[in-house]
Amino acid sequence: MMRSCRLAGVAMLAGLSSATAQRSTITPDAFRSRADSLVFTYLAESHAPSASFAVIRGNDTLAYGAHGLANVDAWRAPTATTIYEIGSITKQFTSAAVMKLVDQGRVKLDDDLSKYVPQFPLQGKKVSIHHLLNHTSGIHSYTSSPEWPKTWNDKLSPDAIVTFVAADTFDFAPGTGYRYNNTGYVLLGMVIEKASGQTYASYLNAQFFKPLGLRQTSYCRSKTSDPDFALGYSKGASGTERAKFLHLSHPFSAGALCSTVGDFAKWQRALDGGKVVSPASYALMSTADSLNGGRKINYGFGLVPGVFNGHKTVSHTGGIPGFATAATYVPDDSLSIVVFTNFDGESPQTLVQNLLRVAYGVAPVGRGAAATQAAAPSLSVADRDAIVGNYTLQLPGGQTLPIKFFLDGTRLMAQAQGQEANEIRYLGNYTFGVGFDPALRFTFTIEAGKATKVTLLQGGATIDGPRVP
């Protein structure tokens, strides 16, 4: 388990600048096949149980779906409408809430924090709302406190959260340095509550979620059995395991929201389209800010500005126990790229970057780059015939699931009891994948020219299925 919770995750997109920005022209059919390969590689190599993804350009849906398992024990697959904890992507909602109050004249960027949260000791320093929004306050982040993880099971008030660092020496004088800071965004949530007279959750619901039709976006529940929500997982000593519990009062306005990839893409467009805050406020949110001395920092207000292929980008990532998220928006092409996962072991940010590259006809890099081009290995007739037969998967909890592998012409098919048949694709070494879930693997054990067992890998779980004579 991590010593501190990764509520943070600021991403910088490498810029491939050009004199003339090229538009994204890839067709949905061409994009989807390559996107599946990239998602497939991320899930297989990170061992994340699932990923939901949305890539939407203008009115074109280039990719919209999900692969893997939202709940490993229940063997429940995700969809594009599965709800995930989004971690620090929450910060742009908090920033937008503050800027809406600024637009209304109820808050000023140069207001001192003491005007709204007088109980927090500023040690003789002036900390403005501006300093909190761009992480230049110098206040220490509570997620780095060694005492904080001991309280993860407890419901805590925002005042109790910021108390973890209230007596700490400032990291630097306000406005003179930059350090990503979750305490600052909890304090901003307290400012929102004081200035609006509403709870943070109620204010966001009334000002953003309901008016914009974000029906599956909300302040997360700490515990839920609702199948619409993904369960969170971490990397354990013996593989993927359920994430340690964190009461969702802790991340508060720094990282406690839940959403779907579709809702979030809608939010990106509304924010860019002037439906959330004024154009001037959005410009402050999405433009690199500066320190007192004029040195630029790669952060706005809750958003990370960047450049890719001559286009401005706006991004952020998130991490919280059991979940990791990443999202990028390209205003020039109204292009949204959003990936949510229920695994905190590896950020999907590289996956988002590669989806962005493919959208502009640029070759992907790093892990997964070869996946979009690799030729399928061949399967001999003898090996194919050795696999055909009936097997019984030994599911978690003692249940069993009969599954058969058979030929449909020359295609090798798999069909679990009560489910549709699906073609399986040979990947080499007696291992097969399926089109509907790029992370799923069937691996056969061959003895004396005949398969004796199939092993299913899906969502981080490994399940054996002996052949039925």
* DSSP line for 341-406: ESBSSS-SHHHHHHHHHHHTTPPP-STTTGGGTPPPPP--HHHHHHH-EEEEEE-GGG-EEEEEEE
Q: Which of these, 117, 116, 131, lies nearest to 179 by C-alpha position?
A: 131
Check whether 266 has a pLDDT greater than 60: yes
d(CA 410, CA 403): 19
Check whether 5 has a pLDDT greater than 70: no
d(CA 222, CA 219): 9
**pLDDT average, residue stretch 233-254:** 93
Q: What is the pLDDT of residues 62-83, one digit of tens each?
A: 999 999 999 998 889 999 999 9
| Cβ–Cβ under 8 Å, residues 52 and 80 | yes
* β-sheet with 389-394: strand ranges across: 389-394, 400-408, 411-416, 422-428, 431-434, 437-447, 450-458, 461-466
The alpha carbon of residue 427 and the mean position of all alpha carbons in its chain are separated, in whole angstroms, by 28
Indicate the DSSP class of residue 158: H
Q: What is the CA radius of gyration of the chain?
A: 24
d(CA 42, CA 48): 8
Q: Over pLDDT 90: what percentage of the chain?
A: 71
Tell me the pLDDT band of 189, cut-offs 50, 70 and 90. Answer: very high
The alpha carbon of residue 368 and the mean position of all alpha carbons in its chain are separated, in whole angstroms, by 18
263 token code pair = 């809702």
Which amino acid is located at 93 in the chain? Answer: F
Check whether 280 has a pLDDT greater than 70: yes
Check whether 6 has a pLDDT greater than 60: no
**The whole model's pTM is what?**
0.79
Whole-number pLDDT of residue 367? 60
d(CA 272, CA 89): 16
